[in-house]
Structure 1
Amino acid sequence: MSDPAHMPEEAAPAAGFRARHALLKRLADVVSLPASRINAFERAVTGDLLVEMLRLASAEDRRRVAARLAPLTELPNALARMLLRDEPDIAGLLIEQCASLSDADLVACARDASTEHRFLMANRRGLSEVVSETLLSFGESEVIEAVLRNNTARLSQVAVEGVVSLSRTDRGLCPHLLKRPELRPSGAYVMFWWCGPEDRRTILQRFAVSREVMQEVAEDVFPMAAEEGWQDPVSRKALQFIERRQRNRAAIAKSPYGGLEQAVEAAGDGMTREIATEIAYLSGVKPITGAKILGDPGGESLAILCKATGLTRGDLQLLWRSMRRPEAQEDGSVDPAWERVQITYEMLAVDRAQTVLRYWNWSLSSALTPALLRAIREGEEEALDDYSAPERAAMLALAENFGR
C-alpha cells in the first residue's frame, strides 16, 4: 500500500483522482453533520482540512462543495471565508442561499471581493443595515440600484443620506430611492432640486405633508412666545416653521411695493436682482432661497412659492413671463415645462406647499453658517457627517451653484 505522505501533489493529473472527488464529498458530508453527531471543534478541524484541499481543487469541485454547504445552519469560518472570495458563480451559491452567514462574513466579503460579489450580495434576502451600508459605501451604481430594489434589505439613515448625495450626479438612482420606506422628507426635499419631472411629482405627492397636527399642539405656545418678545431663537425658528401665515408682515410694512402682488407686477418688465430679493422677503423666505426657486430650470418650485404665499394663477403667469420662460411651443401647443408648473400649482394644498417652502428656507438659508458656506465653495461634501441635517441639505442642493 502506498504512503500518501510520499506522493507528490504535482503528480496528480489536472482532473484529479477519483479519490480526491470522493474525499472532498465525504469531508463536506462530515461538515454537514448535525451537532448531535459532531462537536464544534471536530467540525472546525474538518473544515480546515477541506480548505486545504479546496485550494488545489478545480473550480467544479469547489462549486460542488459550495452547493453542498450552502444549506447548512453552521459553517466553519475558514471555509466560509475562502468560498465567499472564490469566483462569483461559486461564491454566489453561499451568498444567495446560505442563511448561516453572519453580517461579519458578508461585510468582509464585500470589502475583499469584487463588484460582482457585491452585486450578488445586494440581491440577498434580509440584508441588515450594516451590510447594506457597506455595499452602498463603494459608490457602485449597479450595486446601489440592486440594494434599493431589494425590498427585504434594511437601510440606515446614514446609508440613505449617502445615496441622496450620490443621486445628485447619478440621477438614475432617484426613482429607486424614492420608493424606499426609509427615505424621509429631509432627503426628498433636497433631492427635488435635481430630480426629473416625474420624480418631482412623486416627491410632492408623497412628502408634501400637512402641519395641521403641529399647529394644533403649538396653538397656545404662540402667545407665550409673543409675551417673551420672541427672544428665544430656538422656539422662534420652530414656530416660524409651524405657523399658518407665510408672508412676512414686517417686510410688507417696509416694502416700497406695498405688497407681494405689487412686487410681482413690478417684475412684469423683467426680473431684476432687487425685485427678486424683495419678492423673497415678502414671501417670508431668505433671498438665497428665493434665488434658488427663481433659478430652478424645471419651474415647479415657482408654483410651490406662489401656492404657499396665496398668489393667484395669474400671478404665477406674471412671474413665469418675468423670467422670459416660454408658455407655448412653435406649433402653438402649451410648453411642457409651463404645463407642469400649472399642474403643480393646482395639485398642492396651501398648507402642504408651505411645508415644502419652509423646509427649503430652513435648510437652504438658516443652515448656511460661515463654515457651511466655506464647505460648499470648497466642495467638501465628504465632510457631510460634521453637519446637521439641514446643513447637509443646503450643502447638497447648493454645491453646484457655489462651486462655480
Structure 2
Amino acid sequence: MASSVEHKKPLFRNINAEEDDPEVTEIESLCVNCEKQGMTRLFFTKIPFFREVIVSSFKCEHCGNSNAELQPAGRIQDKGVKYTVRITNVKDLNRQFVQTDTATVSIPELDFEAPPNKGALTTVEGIIDRVIEGLNQDQILRRIQHPDDAAKIDTFIGKLEQLKTCQQPFHMVVDDPSGNSFIENPFAPSSDPESKVVHYKRTKAQDAALGLQEQVEEAPREDAPQEFHAKDEVLMFPSNCPGCNSPCQVNMKLVAIPHFKEVVIMALNCDACGLRDTEVKGGGGIESKGRKIILKITDVSDLSRDVLRSEMCCVNIPELDFSTEMSGSAGKFTTLEGLLDDLTTQLRATNPFMMGDSGQKDKISQIDEFCDKLDKIKSGENLDVHIVLDDMTGNSYLQNLYAPESDPNMTVDEYERTFEQNEELGLNNMNTENYQG
C-alpha cells in the first residue's frame, strides 16, 4: 500500500539541469493571430535577480505565432522601498537595476516621472534608453499631426541623451510599493555614499493597488470565552512561505524580555522547503528617544548574548569600517552570533549582482573577504571589536549579563531624534493632544 505521507516540494524551485521533472504546466490558449488553439507552457522557478518568477511561453502550431514572458511572482514585502541614487559619472550608469512592474522611476532634475512598466533587469543607462525608446515610438506620426508637441518631445529626448554624458550630476529615484525593486550597491559591503534607501509603510491606496485587502475583524460570538490571556496563548494562522511561497503555518506568542519590554514573536516552519524563520514586533510603540547600544566583545561567551534587533535598527562595527542601513525587514530576536550570521546572509542576499557566474570577481572577493572577518569574530580569533546597535525607535535590545547592575563592557545611550528621523517615523504630524483611548 502506498504511503499516505508525500514528500512536499517547494512551489518555486531553483533551475536545475539534473532535475527530471521540472513540472512545466501546459494550458491550451487562444491564439490572437489565427484564433485557433495554441499551447501555453508555465514554469515556476527562482532566479537570483527576480526572486520567484513565472516563465510563460506560448506557441501556436497552426500559424507559428509564439511569444515568451517573464513575470515576477515573489511575495510583496512588508514595506515599500524608495531608492534615491546620485549619478555623478559614466561608471554610475552601469549600476545594475531590478525594476518590477509596480515601480515608478523619476528624475527630479528634469521634473520627469515614468509610470510603472513591465518588469526588467537592466542598468541605469538602460532605464534612460527605455524612456527614450518609449517617447520615440509615435514621433513620426506626431510630427505630422502635432508638430509642436513633437518638437517639445524631441527637446526632452535631447535632455535625456545629455544625461548619459554625465556632464552634470543627476538623481535617479525608484519608488516601489511592493518592496521588490533593487539598485546595485557597488561599494558593498560598505554603505553607498551616493545612495539613500528608505523603507516605508504603504498607504491604503497603495495596498489596494497591490491587491492587498484589510482584514475585517469578526464580531465576537456569544459563546466566545470571556477572558483571553495573550501571554499564555500561542496563536496560529495560515500564511505563505517567504522562501518558496508554499502554504504554511505561523505561530505567534507574546513574550516578556527581562529588564526590557514585551515583544511579539512569530515563528514559521515550512514543510516544503525546510525554511525556518522568526519575526519580532515590539509590543509597545515607538519610544520617546532613540537608543544606541555599544558592546565591546571581550570573550567568546559574549556571542551568546540575546539580541533584539528591530526593523529600524542599524548595526555598526567601527573596527571593520562597516555600517548597515536600517534593515527595513522584519525584526529578529536572536543571539549576537546569530546577528553576525544574519549580516553575512544579508551581504550576499542584498547584493545578487555580485553572486553567481555573472558576478564581478573583484567584488565577489571583496564580499568574501569581509565575511571571513565576520567568521573570525564568531570563532573568537578576533575579539577586539565593538558592536553598535543604533535604533532611532528605541526598540532594540542587547542582553546585559550583569543585570540589574550595569555592564562594564556595554554602554546604552538615549538620544533625542532629529527632525528628519521623526519625519521618517511619521511623528512630526502626529497629534496626541486631548486624545482619549
TM-score calculated relative to the size of structure 1 = 0.23
More strand by share: 2
Between Structure 1 and Structure 2, whose CA radius of gyration is higher?
Answer: 1
More helix by share: 1
TM-score calculated relative to the size of structure 2 = 0.22
